[in-house]
Each structure stands twice: as structure tokens, then as C-alpha cells.
Chains A and B, each alone.
Chain A
């Protein structure tokens, strides 16, 4: 009998769920747009004046033009690059910190656990928005500060989850067996236990992405995010003054672009939880 691996099974379950499949497609499309915008294949001319100021949507400019006569669609596409990069870099910062600290705390217990628990309790005691504001303010405005601030605030949840899961696993028989054949702590923790808790990282990353995208928009709106280039947040900020003059397309463009990808990450996160952690199914 041919047996499938856990991942293959999970992937099968995932694509059977139409909603999850659609979400996955949306995420892939957004990632492609982000990569193409980053390499200059599309939307590289977002700063160019292409027509009159504040033109409503038309066949030529699907999302209209902004006050400087720039194509709003190009700005939305450029904003996609910013949003996805924030999700990516935040995860690249938060995942290693969260996984390593969580694994060490869960595995070794004792004073290591006490110290790491203290560390994340301390971080989670400062309300997220205050920590985000403080870090971006200190590091200076710009995307770099946003990556660091979001990374520094979002490792906590992952760390807590990994810690709990590693604690459960370390007493299991397969870990004892690994110890019995001479495996050291490093081997037991990183080669045996961690592969069994990776699903937590994957589920968390999907939800992390949508949190990062939403936060970037708010930080950019507050003037703490990107400087001198369009992001969904700065576009919504512009819309604050435009709405009264009946210019709605910049707001709708940015909001719709953001809605679709955040919705996709939310649905995907739920679907991933169902498919990778079938015990939780239906909850």
C-alpha cells in the first residue's frame, strides 16, 4: 500500500476545499505581482504623469488618476510590492526568534523557560500599537523601521505556541527513542521535535502576513511607514482630502486591493489549520 506523507495529505485536503484553493491562488497572484513590481517588470513608472489630474476610472486608466495625474492602478501595484514585502520581512524576523526561543523554553524548562517566559510576557505587556509607534519613531520613519517594529512585536505569539507544543512532544516515545540511541539535545530538538511542530509555523505565518499588511497600512497612514513612494496606507491618507471633492477611486483601489489579499490570508490560515491539524477540524 502506498502511503502519503503528512504534507501530501494536508495539501490534498487543502485543495479539495474550494475556498482555500481560491485563497491560495489569490496569494500566489499577489506574490507574483509583488515580485514583478520589485524587479521593475510592472508599475515601475508609477511616478510618471500619464494624464490630467484626478481623472475618474476609464478604459485607459482602470483606477483613474491621482491629483498629480499619475495612474492609480500603477500605484496600487507598487503598493502590493510594499505590502507583501512587509509581510515577508516581518516573518523572516519573527519566525527564527519565535521558533528558537519557543523551542529552547519548551525543551529545557527550568531557568531557561523562566527567562524566556519572562521575556515574552514583558514584550506582550506593552500594547502592540505603542510598541510599534515607539520603535518606528526611534528608528526613523521608513520601511526598515516598519519591518523591525512588526518583527519585534510578532514573534511573541509564535514563541508561546511553539513552547507549548515542544513541551508536549519532548516526553513522547519517539524522542525518548532518539535519546536511547545516543541522540543529544541538539539532535532531539532540531531533527526530531521541530519537524513535528512546523505546521504551527505555517498556520501562524499566514495569519502573520495579514496582520503585517494591515499594520503597515496604519503605520503608513500615521506617516511612520514608507516615505516618498505609494503604499496602500498613504493612498488612503490621500483619500482623506479627496473624498469631499468626489474623488473616490484612490480609496476604493487601495482598499479593494488590500481587502482581497487580507481575506485570502485569513481564509488560507483557517484552511491550513483544518488541513494540517485535523484534530481541530470543525472548531
Chain B
């Protein structure tokens, strides 16, 4: 087990080097000269040369690549070009509003989806199952933008039940600001989650061990909750954990619509001001998180299913 974890940890290195390489190629090789954008139309050649020097764009390419790699291990991303702030500080500040929105919404959405999937798996093939399946496909076919626009317009603007936009720090104060985006988050997650969970659960329901359990006279509910769910847990864990990196981006669109000053907002601001280091930092950070979490899922497998022999 420990040997396996060590080996997986070592495999992180080539993947991290690869991720750094893609980001380096995009931002340091392919991208044009960012100084023209940063200084505006009236920049002189001298000003541009000075800025290039200042931003470290004149360094040899190999050094620039090592800087990217280093930042993936140290999380020291330098300063933003637009606001001159330390990027790591910006991320820490932005994490609070983002996580207050996404973490409760994500947990709630996952539990609710699991309950719905168990219910429709119980009534498989019946009316409610067909209805939920159709609603899931129809639900994921509507653009996320349309949901957000409509809910914000109707519940916040027309009915005035929630704040239209903005954010307050501190526990009870942020509730009216994040309640509506959180509800939309849950709604947006239900479609894909229920579809996936239902498929996984039904994969198990036709297995031999389920027939055996039925033959022993166990009730359908016990079979579903004690036998099927346990076995369906592996794909469910993977699916859930792998989504977490996208959470730190905050729900990008939701934060944008509701003017929540989180990581999604930081990313979009950086996008509009060609603030390369911030976008690079967000890309590296979310990738590192993804890589670590995929390791965590592999380890969690051993708890969900002791048969998994980690070779």
C-alpha cells in the first residue's frame, strides 16, 4: 500500500512537468508580445523593451520554463501584471467567497442526486424513472446561462427574495447573497449527477450477488442500500472527487453573474486585462489539485472495496 502511494506520488512528477510544459508553451511561446497590450497603443519601443525586461520575458526560454515548474511546487506565482498584488494573496482572498458558495452547494447537490438516483433505481422502468431520466436529459440540454439569467431575473429582480448581486463577509451576512447562486448550482448539478449515479447503480443491480441477496429473502431496500450502493461507490467516488478542482474556480459563471468576488471573478478579470500570471496561476493550481485528488481517489478505493489490490 505504502509502496503504491509512493509510486503514484512519483508519477505526479512527469504529469506536473507536462502540465507546466503546456502552460509554458501557451503563455511563453505561442502568445504574442503581451507588453503591447499592457502598455496600450501609444507605447514606444523603449518602454516595451523595459517592461519585457521587468517581467522577465527576456530570460532564456529554459529559465522561463523552470520558473513555471517551480511555481507548480512552491505556489509562488509572482505578482499580477494588472493589480501588482501577490497572486498567492489574491487567491487566498478569493477562495473565501468561492468556497462559501460552492462547498455547501456541492455537498448538497451530491447527496440529493444520490437520493434521487436510489429512488429511481428502486422504481426502475416505471413512470417516475422515465420522468426523471427525461428531465435529466432535458435539463442538461438547456444552457447554464439561461438558467442563471432566468433565476436571477425572476427570483432576485422580480420577486426580490434574494440579493441580485454582491457579497458580504461573515456567516449570516453572506447567506442572502449566495443562496440563489447556490440553488442554481444544485439545479445545474442534478442532471448530470443523477444520470451518472443511476447508470452506475443499475450496472450493479443486475449482478449475480444481487440475485443471491434476493433469494435469501432480503428486502429490496436493504439490497439497494447495503449491497448495491456499497459496490457502486467506486465510480461514484471517482466522479465526485474529480469534480473538486472545478470547485476552486468557483462556479465561474455564477460568480460572474452575481458579482461574487471569488476565484472565478479573479480569473475572468485577468482574462479581460491579459493578466497572464494570474491565468497561469489558476491553471497550475487547479491542475495540481486535480492530480492530487486523483491520487486520493485511488487510495479511497481500498476503503470502499478491499478487493482492490494496489499492485
Contacts and interface: CB of A to CB of B under 8 A. Distances in A.
Interface string B234-274: 00000000000110010011001100000000011001101
A222 B21 CA distance: 26
Given A134-B27, A283-B202, A126 B22 contact: yes
14 contacts: A118-B14, A118-B15, A125-B287, A126-B19, A126-B287, A130-B279, A133-B271, A134-B27, A138-B30, A214-B143, A221-B253, A224-B271, A262-B142, A283-B202
A167 B257 CA distance: 46
A122 B22 contact: yes
Given A218-B143, A237-B145, 19 more contacts: A118-B14, A119-B18, A121-B18, A123-B22, A125-B15, A125-B290, A125-B294, A127-B286, A129-B246, A130-B249, A130-B267, A131-B22, A133-B271, A137-B279, A138-B26, A139-B30, A214-B143, A243-B149, A262-B140
Contacts of B27: 134, 138
A244 B153 contact: yes
Interface string B1-44: 00000000000001100110111001100110000000000000
A218 B253 CA distance: 9
Interface in A93-142: 118-119, 121-123, 125-127, 129-131, 133-135, 137-139
Interface stretch (A5-13, A35-43, A191-199, A251-259): A251-259
Contacts of A133: 267, 271, 279
A236 interface: yes
Contacts of A210: 141
A134 B29 CA distance: 13
Contacts of B26: 134-135, 138
A91 interface: no
B157 interface: yes
A104 B142 CA distance: 37
A73 interface: no
A236 B246 contact: no
Interface of B: 14-15, 18-19, 21-23, 26-27, 30-31, 137-138, 140-146, 149-150, 153, 157, 199, 202-203, 245-246, 249, 252-253, 256-257, 267-268, 271-272, 274, 279, 282-283, 286-287, 290-291, 294
Nearest to A137: B271
Q: Indicate the size class of the contact surface on chain A.
A: 35 or more
Nearest to B198: A283
A233 interface: yes
Contacts of B290: 125-127
A236 B149 contact: yes
Nearest to B25: A138
A240 B149 contact: yes
The interface centre, meaning the residue of A138, A236, A255, A270 with most chain B CB atoms within 10 A of its CB, is A138
Nearest to B272: A223
B137 A263 contact: yes
Contacts of A130: 249, 267, 279, 282-283, 286-287
Contacts of B22: 122-123, 126, 131
Contact of A283 (B137, B153, B203): B203
Contacts of B18: 118-119, 121-122, 125
A263 B140 CA distance: 8
Given A123-B22, A133-B271, A218-B253, A259 B142 contact: yes
A118 B21 CA distance: 13
Nearest to A123: B22
B144 A122 contact: no
A82 to B, nearest CB: 14
A267 interface: yes
B137 A131 contact: no
A243 B149 CA distance: 8
B26 to A, nearest CB: 5
Nearest to A243: B153
Contacts of B245: 127
A104 to B, nearest CB: 18
A239 interface: yes
A46 B220 CA distance: 59
Nearest to B290: A125
A239 to B, nearest CB: 6
